[in-house]
Amino acid sequence: MRKTTRLKELILAPDLLVMPGAFDPLSARIVQEAGFAAVQCSGFAMSGTYLGLPDYSFLSFSDMLAITQRMVDAVALPVMADGDTGFGNAVNAWYTVRAFERVGAAGINIEDQVMPKRCGHLDGKTIVPLDEAVAKIRACAEARTDPDFVINARTDALAVAGIDEVIRRGNAYLEAGATMVFIDGMTSKALTEQAVRAIRGPVAINLVEGGRSPRDFGFAEMQAIGVARVSLPLTTVLGAIQGMRQALAALRQHGGIAGSAGLVAPFDDLKHLVGFDEVFALEKRHLAGLRPEPQTAGS
């Protein structure tokens, strides 16, 4: 089954699709190892880890495409790309979809913020007019060559114009060809339920630790409400930051690696995650007998 078809099936299935965010091939493999069914590219985490800069449209189209391709190649799971605003107008968005589909992404987020965009859980967002946003989604839908390639139409209208505008935009995006409507920066269970009832298609939200997300909104409750997908864009990078801080603090405290037990993964885990098992198997098949014998003294 194509990854596009698998991702679309997961979105349309009765069960909630939980998609942790990843920012590089290693984090994508850890998401896969943890047993999740799909990976969400996190533009926020990618900008922070790749450039050390905030999520403010600093990553270029070619940067995002290259990182995403590496992640797609690293896992067997469907990967949803982060296409920001489509990197321009509707024409730019058309080419963006073509490019990300070509490198193997199973779908893409396209949002209705004014460029430069910012994280949906921050203040100061501005959204483009509805007709401009609809034209962009229509161009994205036209650009895909695989009808199952997922167009995840993100709206940041909640913080700017309220839930009624979210619903108006969500239905307009679905009519323009979007597969799913992603409401970023959702602040309450009640608003989520209102949106799911009124939007005539799959609805997605996200959870951000320390952001606007309700802390007590669990997956079972989301599924009961009818949410199709939830992404967790920063869980992996925030977990990595905390883990690195703790491990480095232990080094300073203990004056060596003796105090790192329990704070770092086993070395064998890293070797497995980056593919040394396959390299060693290839060596056995293709290099056996080709290496020179070690020289002895006096030879």
32-48 pLDDT, tens digit per residue, is 999 999 999 999 999 99
Residues of the chain with CATH 3.20.20.60: 3-240
Report, as an integer, the average pLDDT of 48-68. Answer: 96
Q: 176 with 137: CB under 8 angstroms?
A: yes
Distance CA 232, CA 126 (A): 23
Report, as an integer, the average pLDDT of 63-76. Answer: 98
Token output for 27: 């984090």
CATH architecture for segment(s) 3-240: Alpha-Beta Barrel (3.20)
Question: Roughly how many angstroms between the first and final C-alpha of the chain, as a whole number?
Answer: 59
- Residue 61 DSSP SS3: helix
Distance CA 7, CA 225 (A): 21
Residue 222 φ/ψ, nearest 5 degrees: -60, -45
Report, as an integer, the average pLDDT of 267-288. Answer: 95
Name beta bridge partners: 212: none
Higher local confidence (pLDDT), 293 or 17: 17
What pTM does this model have?
Answer: 0.94
Q: 183 with 156: CB under 8 angstroms?
A: no
Instruction: Calculate what percentage of the chain has a pLDDT beyond 70.
Output: 97
Distance CA 288, CA 179 (A): 51
14 cis-preceded (ω within 30 degrees of 0): no
- Per-residue confidence (pLDDT) for residue 294, from 0 to 100: 60
Residue 239 neighbours by CB distance under 10 Å: 14
Residue 243 CB partners (closer than 8 Å, separation 6+): 263, 264
The candidate with the shortest Cα–Cα distance to 213, out of 183, 182, 184, 187, is 187
Name beta bridge partners: 204: 182, 229
- Per-residue confidence (pLDDT) for residue 293, from 0 to 100: 60
**Is the pLDDT assigned to residue 299 strictly greater than 60?**
no
Q: 134 with 172: CB under 8 angstroms?
A: yes
Report, as an integer, the average pLDDT of 114-128. Answer: 87
Residue 122 CB partners (closer than 8 Å, separation 6+): none
